[in-house]
Structure 1
Amino acid sequence: MAAQSLANHDPDDLSDTSSVSDILDTRNDEGWEDVEQDEESITVVSLFKDQTFPSAKEMLNNCRDNHGFDIWKLRQEFDLDFLGLIRLVNYVRSSVKAGNTRPDVSSKLLFEDEQYLKPVLEDDALLFSLDDVFEDSASGAAPTTEVEQLREELTSLQSQFTAYREQVQSALLNRLDDSPATPASSSKAPAAQSTNQSSKQEASDNIEAGYFESYSYNAIHESMIKDTIRTDAYRDFIYDHKELFKDKVVLDVGCGTGILSMFCAKAGAKSVIAVDNSAIIDKARENVFRNGLQDKVRCLRGKIEEVQMPVPKVDIIVSEWMGYGLLYESMFDSVIYARDRYLADDGLMVPSYAALRIAPLADSDLKASHIDFWRDVYGFDMTAMLEKANEEALVRVVDEKELAAESVAFLELDLHTTQVGDLVFTKPFNLKWKEGFKSLEGFVAWFDIIFGTSKSQNIKPGTTAKEAKSQGLTAFSTGPHSQATHWQQVIFLIENSQDELTAGDEVNGEVTYVKKDGKERSLDIEISWAKGQEKAQKQLWVLD
């Protein structure tokens, strides 16, 4: 209060100069300068038990020695910054609190959700002591190298570029949407209409260029290649079926770094044509050369719809085209074009089957962390952020224990026969509510991928990746029951949770996928649902 009084003191008011002088007078303060503040003791609660420790380092050493949780190793392995460490700590505490004494820390994706920025333990002394835990590395024991600094700067620039690109796209689209229409009676109407169409085409071209530009950076390719569920599946299928690739001509659509092309070349392909429309193709070409595969792999830059192919037909098309919710980015359209234009009649698509699955989300903390979070942010009411919160499809990792029914496939694609028109659809689903769940809070969608060995191979409708593996096929799932992938899952939170559901109740509905107007690589996704024969509810989300 004294500091506040001094700050508000009027220098022209001399009536209270004595009181001010008294406050500032230090003549009677002799001896106080030698008194040291008592060092405040802290109590740090263990991540795994109710045991407490006098310091964060002692507690974390105990966790490493007795529970196999090495935060120093994880920090280095996942390149965690301060907020990353906060998320990790709160993720572990929430897992242990839920009864999981051996939380999975195999992937950074598991604890990237913003909900883990909120402390699980009130006044958690560990969170305030993390700087002290890593002070050695910060003070010189493990100095940041110049390369690491450059990497951090590059990551920052990439993030800024992404934000800038999205702002430019949004501004262009808004400007076009808000353009006043020219009256039809005007003699200039045809010219104005032509100009408007030209502007829209230019905006579309700019968005398309931005899309391919985003794939010219290392970060996105690093995350995909490090996704071992994804990359191992392609590698295993190619290497385990070398007889399919021996002396064959292969087309890799959207080759990126060239990793799949090099797998095919190593498996015995006679020739591999690697196509990509981003600047990453230059790195792919260098990667091919460094591995001595330049005689087998030819890299071409351009859209598959526009490049000059060196051969009329290919025997195999390999591509990793899947996006969030399977169809985000619309890259599969280009793969279909390549198939219809270049694949031999008995040619093979790798992979050959994809299915979108859905399950209900119930009794989850996700809604509280994503929606209710804004009601109290460090003591501030930030509910203004909720204006369109329920319209955004979330990409997150979901705990399988929060699924209130067995998933069902609502879209199944045979990649040898699927047409572009099949990718805009309305499909029904029927789910049977499990016992032990109360409130429907949304839906979760993911996809399964299966690699067949021939065009004629029959894959039974509804087959899951797990079932395919049991049949000896190569497959992987991006669902909650499997190890997390970089695709995670897509979550559709409903505005008003629906209660009164009991075991055995049927939840019927439909899922609609539509390409977003003006941004064809994004999706508008609508889900309608109803309990039994009750009146259906529906909601629209954007996957952008």
Structure 2
Amino acid sequence: MSESTSSESDHQEDEWQDLEEDREDVQVVSLFDNKVFMDVPSMLDYCKKTYNFDFAAAQKILGLDFYGRIKLVNYIRYEVKNGNLQPDISSADNFSDDKYLQPALEDDALLFYADELEDEEIDAAIPSKGKENAQPIPALDPEARIKQLEEQLEKAQFQFAEYRKAAQNSLDKRWQDLDGADDGPADTSKQASQRDEDYFDSYSYNDIHETMLKDTIRTDAYRDFIYENKHLFKDKIVLDVGCGTGILSMFCARAGAAQVYAVDNSNIIEKAKENIATNGLSKQITCIRGKIEEIKLPVEKVDILVSEWMGYCLLYEAMLNSVLWARDKYLQPDGLMVPSHCVLHIAPLMDPDYVSENVEFWYDVYGFDMSAMMAKIYDDVLIKTVKKTSLAGKSSPFFTLPLHDITVADLTFRKDFSMEIENNIENLDGWVLWFDTFFLPSRTAALPATPRAEEWSDLTKPGVAFTTGPNGKETHWQSGLMLIDRKVHQPKALGQGSKISGSIGYMEAGSNKRGLEVEVTWHVEGSSEHGQQIWYVQ
């Protein structure tokens, strides 16, 4: 070998080494767990062997192009994130939505190599059965290899730039759909549809269901009523609206129900199916995915409708609308609603410590006025745990909802209330909202004029009840705290025995059908303390 040839060879080898040194290690996360691989083929081979998922075969059968592969990757990652290890890929329609152009995993290396996911390239890179005798791919000399890598890099950069553009366009379109309220009824419909989608998506994740299941006040009440009244459930047909993990359906099945139809429109229904099967209740419980208004039950009527539909301040999220629709459509005329009644309460708030720590604090933060941080503190209903000692008087139960008879129209209302201040207070800081829930064993059973769930433990009272207010144990609903805007309403000292009268109204929060607008007017007898203010739960 001449010195010239040797020198050129050494130069090429140095370039190759430089390229190798500059290349960052690729970390490709498995589609189905957190295992990390140094290249795409190894990860896909792992998914094929461990989870019986053949990406190459799937994309070939579905006829996916570059963007189709991107959507498939993100769809699988979203489904796995929601707890579904067996995503439905029987049709590309399941992930045709442009939302799947948006990465489900931040800095997902797999998306950078989407162009290399074509079945021919995977097929060549991953050994499989029947290829033991395949001929090895001849190695390229360093200069040819560098040229090949540069071409692949240029192609990948172009494809990824196009992908980012498509993803951004999709995201921009979604924001325009949400912000286009001034564009007319069609856009309003799109907003409502998107909010519905977001609402159901929020119930796809484990965290929210874990929180609800660990709320023993809530879950124990359903369990106790169902198990203590097995004679009501024996051989009956039950509808569970918004079944979530399936816990209420399983309570009903264990209580002797002949058949339970568990309906939910979020991905959690897949977990419910697994839970039900694991506990040997698949023959008694049928899971149905979809909105209750859009699906059709296999039966004309059911004997019992059970649902945990309550939201913050009771009516936030507007799920009760769907429950009442299901009641009118499917419940037998003599059927039972579980729960049977809810009661809304309002009470006066006097909590100077809370006001000092959360309102006055912002006026002097190390000598700086940061009152800008108080934005919406007087506009929003704050979901908080309120101590009993923060109440300035006994609550006024202002609205009883008899769930066997109430209509959707009744859920927009204005009701009067009255209460009395129990001790001298420097000023009225605001109002506290909560609700009580009652489970009565008969649709003809009635509540007393001023029902209070915390007093329902008396054995002479029928059924089960719980409160979400300060007079009971904390629940995940907590209470709704509404601070009076003292820039508008000047504070007044109130003496023991001062009587407050007023009214409270609930209505939908504008175009947000699942939001809630709460308006309170009040007047203290013999005092100049009075006012009117609106708060939002959103």
Query: Which residue of structure 2 aligns with residue 501 of structure 1?
Result: 494
- Taking a change above 3 Å as real, the CA distance of residues 535 and 505 of structure 1, as seen in their structure-2 partners, is closer
Instruction: Map Cα deviations across residues 258-281 of structure 1 (whole Å, 9 max, x no partner).
Output: 000000000000000000011111
TM-score, scaled relative to structure 1: 0.65
Name the aligned partner's letter for residue 500 of structure 1: A
User: Residue 479 of structure 2: which of 477, 489, 493 is its match?
Assistant: 489
Letter in 2 for 1:444: V
How far, CA to CA, are the matches of 1:357 and 1:484 in structure 2? 16
CA distance in 2, matches of 1:241, 1:167: 53
| Corresponding position: 1:201 with 2:195 | no
- CA RMSD, 1 decimal: 2.5
Bigger CA drift: 466-475 or 217-226? Answer: 466-475
2:522 paired residue number: 529
Preserved contact between residue 453 and residue 467 of structure 2 (Cα < 8 Å): yes
| Amino acid paired to 2:181 | L
Superposition deviation, residue 199 in structure 1: 2.3
Query: What secondary structure is seen at the aligned counterpart in 1 of 2:180?
Result: helix
CA separation in 2, counterparts of 1:491 and 1:277?
A: 31
1:338 corresponds to which residue?
Answer: 326
* Range 449-458 or range 528-537, more displaced: 528-537
Change in 2 beyond 3 A, CA 1:403/1:248: same
Out of 229, 232, 245, the residue aligned to residue 244 of structure 1 is 232
Alignment match, 1:116:
none
TM-score, length-scaled by structure 2: 0.65
Aligned length: 370
8 Å contact from structure 2 (residues 180, 187) kept in 1:
no
Residue in structure 1 matching 2:278, options 286, 290, 294: 290
Which amino acid letter does the alignment assign opposite residue 537 of structure 2?
L
Q: 2:343, 2:437 within 8 Å by CA — same for their partners in 1?
A: yes
Whether the 8 Å contact between 1:169 and 1:203 is mirrored in structure 2 is no
Residue of structure 1 aligned with 2:467, choices 471, 477, 486: 477
- Matched with 1:365 is 353
- Residue deviations 1:89-133 (CA, integer Å, cap 9, x gap): xxxxxxxxxxxxxxxxxxxxxxxxxxxxxxxxxxxxxxxxxxxxx
- From 373, 378, 385, the equivalent of 2:373 is 385
Among 451, 454, 458, the alignment partner of 1:463 is 451
CA contact (8 A) 1:363 1:437 kept: no
Deviation at 1:168, TM superposition (A): 9.3
3-state SS, counterpart of residue 495 of structure 1: coil
Match of 2:264 in 1: 276
Deviation at 1:435, TM superposition (A): 1.9
Give the direction of change, closer, same or farther, for the CA distance of 1:380–1:519 in structure 2 (3 Å limit). Answer: same
Say whether residues 1:232 and 2:220 are aligned partners: yes
Deviations 1:27-78 (A, max 9, x none): xxxxxxxxxxxxxxxxxxxxxxxxxxxxxxxxxxxxxxxxxxxxxxxxxxxx
Q: Give SS of 1:440's match.
A: coil
Looking at structure 1, the residues matched to 375 and 212 of structure 2 have their Cα atoms a distance apart, in angstroms, of 33
1:481 Cα deviation after fit: 1.2
For residues 323-360 of structure 1, what are the alpha-carbon distances to aligned partners after superposition, in whole Å with 9 as ceiling and x for unaligned?
00000000000110111110001100000010000110
Aligned pair in 2 of structure 1 residues 384, 359: CA closer, same or farther (>3 Å)?
Answer: same
Partner of 2:510: 517
Cα shift at 1:215: 0.5
Distance 1:443 1:169 in 2: 37
Specify the code of the residue in structure 2 equivalent to 1:479: G
Partner of 1:176: 181
Question: 1:535 deviation in Å?
Answer: 7.3
Q: Which residue number corresponds to residue 328 of structure 1?
A: 316
Partner of 1:256: 244
Question: 2: CA distance between counterparts of 1:479 and 1:208?
Answer: 28
Question: Is 1:416–2:409 an aligned residue pair?
Answer: no
AA at the equivalent of 1:385: M
Cα deviation code 1:265-313 (max 9, x no counterpart): 0000000000001111111011101110000000001111111101000
Query: SS at the partner of 2:485?
Result: strand
* Alpha-carbon offset, residue 498 of structure 1: 2.7
Contact 1:248 1:315 (C-alpha < 8 Å) held by counterparts = yes
Residue 543 (1) aligns with residue 537 (2): yes
Is the partner of 1:309 in helix, strand or coil?
coil
Structure 2 counterpart SS, 1:391: coil
Secondary structure, aligned partner of 2:336 = strand
Distance of 1:288 and 1:167 partners within structure 2: 40
Q: Distance in 2 between matches of 1:272 and 1:328?
A: 27
Alpha-carbon separation, structure 1, partners of 2:174 and 2:215: 29
Instruction: Decide whether aligned partners of structure 1 residues 285 and 363 sit closer, same or farther in structure 2, where only a CA change above 3 A counts.
Output: closer
If you compute each CA radius of gyration, which structure gives the higher value, 1 or 2?
Answer: 2
Residue matched to 1:192: none
Query: In structure 2, how many angstroms separate the alpha carbons of the residues matched to 1:274 and 1:535?
Result: 51
**Paired AA for residue 424 in structure 1:** T
In 1, Cα distance between equivalents of 2:469 and 2:447: 19
Q: Do the aligned partners of 1:359 and 1:405 also contact (CA within 8 Å) in 2?
A: yes
Contact 2:244 2:272 (C-alpha < 8 Å) held by counterparts: yes
**Is the Cα contact below 8 Å between 2:312 and 2:479 reproduced in 1?**
yes
2:283 counterpart letter in structure 1: D
Summarize the Cα distance change of 1:475–1:382 in structure 2 as closer, same or farther, 3 Å threshold: same
Kindly state the Cα deviation for residue 438 of structure 1 after the two structures are TM-superposed.
Answer: 2.8
Map 1:428-439 → 2, pairs under 5 A:
428-439=416-427
The 3 A distance-change label for structure 1 pair 236 and 378 is farther
Q: Tell whether the 8 Å contact from 1:323 to 1:329 is kept in structure 2 after alignment.
A: yes
Aligned AA (1:231): T
With 501-510 and 358-367 compared, the bigger mean Cα shift is at: 358-367
For residues 256 and 406 of structure 1, do their structure 2 counterparts lie closer, same or farther at Cα, with a shift above 3 Å needed?
same
Please say if 1:399 is aligned against 2:387. yes
Listed one character per residue, the Cα deviations across residues 149-195 of structure 1 (whole Å, up to 9, x for unaligned) are x99xxxxx99x9xxxxx999886443323x4xxxxxxxxxxxxxxxx
Letter in 1 for 2:471: H
**Which consecutive residues of structure 2, in runs of 5 or more, have no partner in the other structure?**
1-79, 82-102, 107-170
**Cα distance change on mapping 1:357 and 1:171 into 2, 3 Å:** farther
